[in-house]
Copies of this chain bind each other. A is one copy, B any other.
Amino acid sequence: MFLKLTVVFIVLLQSYVTLASDPDPVTDFCIPQTDAATILLQCKNSSLATVDDFVFSGIKNPGKFGETGLSSIPVNVNVFPGLNTLGMSMVRADFEIAGVNVPHFHPRATETAVVLEGKIYSGFIDTENRIYAKVIEKGDVMVFPRGLVHFQMNVGSTKATILGSFDSQNPGLLRIPSGIFGSGIKEELLEKAFGLNAKELAKLRKRFGPH
Contact surface of A with B, Cβ cutoff 8 Å:
1-2, 5, 8-9, 11-12, 15-16, 18-30, 37-43, 45-47, 49-57, 59-61, 68-69, 75, 77, 80, 82-83, 85-90, 98, 100, 102-103, 105-108, 110-112, 114, 116, 121, 123-134, 136, 138-149, 151, 153, 163, 165, 167-170, 172-186, 188-190, 192-195, 200, 203-204, 207, 210
Copies in the complex: 6
Asked whether, in the complex, the Cβ of A18 is within 8 Å of the Cβ of B24, the reply is no
Asked whether, in the complex, the Cβ of B25 is within 8 Å of the Cβ of A23, the reply is no
User: Besides A107-B148, A200-B200, 8 other CB < 8 A contacts?
Assistant: A11-B41, A18-B42, A68-B193, A88-B110, A147-B147, A149-B174, A153-B192, A177-B194
Given contacts A41-B11, A41-B15, A131-B183, contact A55 B170 (CB under 8 A): no
Asked whether, in the complex, the Cβ of B107 is within 8 Å of the Cβ of A140, the reply is no
Given contacts A19-B30, A23-B21, A172-B147, contact A189 B121 (CB under 8 A): yes
Asked whether, in the complex, the Cβ of B114 is within 8 Å of the Cβ of A90, the reply is yes
Asked whether, in the complex, the Cβ of A143 is within 8 Å of the Cβ of B11, the reply is no
Asked whether, in the complex, the Cβ of A19 is within 8 Å of the Cβ of B42, the reply is yes
Asked whether, in the complex, the Cβ of A108 is within 8 Å of the Cβ of B8, the reply is no
Contact residues in B for A134 (Cβ distance below 8 Å): 51-52, 55
* Bound Cα distance A195, B199 (Å): 14
Asked whether, in the complex, the Cβ of A186 is within 8 Å of the Cβ of B90, the reply is no
The chain B residue sitting closest to A178, CB to CB, is B129
Asked whether, in the complex, the Cβ of A29 is within 8 Å of the Cβ of B145, the reply is yes
- How far is the CB of A178 from the nearest CB of chain B, in Å? 6
- From B20, B112, B180, B192, contact of A88 by CB (8 A): B112
